Chain A
Amino acid sequence: MAIPLSWYLILSAALFSIGLFGVLARRNAIAILLGVELMLNAVNINLVAFWRYLDPTQMTGQVFAIIVFAVAAAEVAVGLALVISVYRNRKTVVADELDMMKW
C-alpha cells in the first residue's frame, strides 16, 4: 500500500510539537537547544516530503532542506558557544537562573 502524504505531515507535526514542548518546558539551556534541533528536523521532514510528493523533478525542496541544514549547524554552533560563555561567567546553565536583565 502506498504511503499517503498525510502520514509524513502528521509525523513532522508530532515531532515539531515534541520539540516545542522541549523548548518550553526544560530548565537547562542546552536541553532547550536540543528541542530546537527537533523542530528544525521536523521542518526538514516536511520539506523533503513535499518535494517527493508534489514534484520530484524540481529540486526546490531538497535545496531548501540543505539550507536548513546549514542554518541549523550555524545556530547550534553559536548557541552552544553562548551557553559555554555564560557558564564560564555565571557557573550555571539553568535558564531560570539567568535573570540579570529582569526588572
Chain B
Amino acid sequence: MNFWTDPIQVTADWLMGLFTGWGMAEGLASILTQLLGIVILITIMLVIDILLVWIERKVVARFQDRLGPNRVGPFGLIQPFADIIKLFIKENITPVGVDKVVYNLAPILSVFSVLILWAIIPLAPVIIGVDLNVGLLYLVAAGAIGTLSIIMAGWSSNNKFALLGAFRQVAAMVSYEIPMVVALLIPTVLAGSMGMLGISQAQQGMWYVILSPLGALIFLISAVAELGRAPFDLSEGESEVVAGFHIEYSGMKFGWFYAGELLHAFTFGGFWGILFFGGYHFFGLENLGPLVAAAIVLFKALLGYWVIMWIKYTLMRIRIDHMLAFNWKFLVPLSLVVLMVTALLNTLLRDASAWVIGLSMFLSNVVIAWVTIEILRGRSRAEREMVEGSMQPATESANH
C-alpha cells in the first residue's frame, strides 16, 4: 500500500503518526486528522469553484459568439480572481428591517448544502469521503437544506420581490424533487444499492445511460430545475423579479450565492456522471490508479456541467405555471412509468446475459419515449385544431 494506490489512507496514517509523535492522545489525533481531511476537501472544492467562474464566462461567451474575458492574464485566467477581489471589497449593504441572523445565515446554508454533497462522491474506489449506504437520499436531503436557505433569504430580506422570487423558486424546487427522487431510484434498482460506491461499481459492465436514457434525461431536467438555473430560473430572471431571492444581498454574500450556484451545477454534473455515465469507469483506464480515476470523475463532472451550461444558454425561460404543469402533468407520470418498466424488466431478466438486458431496457426506453411523443403529438394536434377552428371566422371576414 503505497501513496499511488491508496493516497487517502497513506496520508491519514502519516498524519496520525505525526500527531501522536508530538504527544497527542489517540482520539484527539484521529479527530484532528479527519478535520484536516474535511478542510482540504472544502478548500479544493472552493478552488475548483473559482475555476468554474472562468469556465462559465468563457463558455457563455462562446455560445453568444464572442470571446469572453481574455485581457486579464493568459486566456483571461486571472479574471475570476479579479471578480472575487471585487466582491470582497464591495460594500456589504444590509437593508433596514432585515432579520439579521436569518439574513446572514442564508448564504452560508446555501453553500453548506453544496459542500456537504462532496462527502459522498466517489472519486475513486478508495477515495470517498464516507460511503453512506443511503447516499442517494443524502443527495435529496442536501437539496432540502438548499431549499430552506432560499426561503430564509427571501423572507429575511424584508422585500416583496425577494419573497415572491423565493416562493416561486421553493415551489419549483419542492415540486421537481419528486421526479428527481423517482429518477434516482432507477440506478438504485439497477445496482441494488443506494450507496454511490455500489452504483459506481455496478456500472463496470454497462453504463446506466444505455440501460435507461430516459432516466438520465429526467434526472438532468429535474437537476436543472433543482439548481434554479435556466430555463427554470424564474426566481432570478432580471426581467421578472429583478434578482429574486438575492436582491438585497451585495458584496461577498451575493458572491456566496453565485459561487454556490456554480458549484452546485458542477456537483450535479458530477452526480449525473456517476449515476448514469459510469462514475470512475472508463474502459479500464481507472485501474491505473486512484488519481487517474479521480481525474476521470472530474472530467465527467465538467462534461455534465458543460451540458447544463449548454441548456442554460440555449433555452428561453419558462413561466412558473408552465413549469409546474410540466412537472406534475408530464415528468411525474413519465418518471413513474420509466421506473416501473425498469424495475419489471430488471426482475424478469435477472438471469439473462448482459446483451439481452441492455438491449431490452434500451428498447423499452425507446418505446416509452415514442408512445409519449405520440400522445403529445395527438394533444397538440387537437389543440391546434381548436385554436385554428376558433380563428376561422376572423380570417373569412378579413377576406371580404
Q: Do chains A and B touch in the complex (CB under 8 A)?
A: no
B interface list, Cβ under 8 A from A: none
